[in-house]
Amino acid sequence: SIKPAGPALGPKEQQMLGELKSASGKAFDQKYIKMQTDAHKEAVALFSTYAKSGDDPAMKEFAKKTLPTLKMHEKHVKELAVA
């Protein structure tokens, strides 16, 4: 039987996976936390922009509602980074 393919990874995701695969222990933790931090920063920026000036009212509402959660996650990731 043929297994369904998972979502295709773009070059950026493949590179990130490769970096994580080659890291171990503390290096893995640091790389993973850095990736999470960057991802949350991008998400927060995207959501706050859309919450202010998005053109789809439903999406705008969703962005506004989700923003506090994203900010909380970003804070947790930052705390992990210093731990």
Does the global pTM surpass 0.75? no
Kindly state the average pLDDT of the residues 6-13: 79
Nearest to 48 by CA among 67, 70, 68, 75: 67
Cβ atoms within 10 A of the Cβ of 25, count?
A: 7
Structural domain includes residue 44: yes
What does the pLDDT read at residue 10?
86
The predicted-structure confidence for 61-73, as pLDDT tens digits, reads as follows 999 999 999 999 9
Domain of 63, in residue numbers: 24-82
Does residue 28 have a pLDDT over 70? yes
Structural domain includes residue 14: no
Does residue 5 have a pLDDT over 80? no
Cα–Cα distances (Å) from 16 to 39, 69, 71, in that order, read 12, 25, 23
Number of domains the chain contains: 1
